[in-house]
């Protein structure tokens, strides 16, 4: 059961950003420090990728585990209002898959970094390998 009133829950949910999130800013600083330059949220590409490397034809998505249904402990479903949340979050997941497919068809390579992977030791190496391939 939700411990907040509907108004309190609405206010709290309204504070959640879809751009310039803490995980996104962390990855942007890391990529910039590594010497790569990028564009942000290109509306012309499917899914408006978080980081776009046009000359390399590569994009990076930084996904929140809850919002994009990652199979980790952070991606668990809420216990209340599952009839609302399950279809909403599943739609996000399916849209993500469609965007990845469309980007691939357009000749773009993609890398998805999940919120739960931000503190992994090999993250910097993973990004460098992806961008230098």
pLDDT of 79 over the 90 cut: no
* Residues 111, 113: Cα–Cα separation, whole Å: 6
Asked whether residue 6 is domain-assigned, the answer is no
What is the extent of the structural domain holding 29? 17-132
Which of 15, 14, 20, 13 has its CA nearest to residue 78? 13
pTM (predicted TM-score): 0.86
Domain count, the chain: 1
Q: pLDDT tens for residues 90-116?
A: 999 999 999 999 999 999 999 999 999
Asked whether residue 75 is domain-assigned, the answer is yes
Q: pLDDT tens for residues 25-59?
A: 999 999 999 999 999 999 999 999 999 999 999 99
Q: pLDDT tens for residues 56-66?
A: 999 999 998 88
Q: Are 28 and 52 in contact (CB under 8 A)?
A: no
Asked whether residue 11 is domain-assigned, the answer is no
Q: Are 69 and 116 in contact (CB under 8 A)?
A: no
* CATH code for the domain of 77: 3.40.960.10
Asked whether residue 72 is domain-assigned, the answer is yes
Mean pLDDT of the chain: 89
* Residues 53, 39: Cα–Cα separation, whole Å: 7
Which of 47, 27, 53, 40 has its CA nearest to residue 93? 47
Q: What is the DSSP letter of 106?
A: T
Please report where in the chains the tokens 């310039």 appear, as a residue.
20
């Amino acid at each position: 059961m939700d411990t907040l009133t509907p108004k309190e829950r609405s206010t709290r949910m309204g504070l959640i950003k879809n751009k310039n999130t803490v995980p996104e800013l962390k990855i942007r600083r890391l990529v910039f420090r590594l010497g790569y330059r990028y564009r942000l949220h290109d509306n012309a590409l499917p899914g408006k990728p978080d980081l776009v490397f046009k000359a390399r034809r590569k994009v990076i998505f930084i996904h929140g585990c809850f919002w994009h249904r990652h199979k980790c402990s952070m991606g668990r479903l809420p216990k209340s209002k599952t009839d609302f949340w399950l279809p909403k979050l599943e739609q996000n997941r399916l849209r993500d898959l469609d965007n990845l497919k469309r980007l691939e068809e357009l000749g773009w390579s993609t890398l998805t970094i999940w919120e739960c992977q931000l503190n992994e030791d090999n993250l910097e190496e993973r990004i460098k390998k992806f961008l230098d391939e």
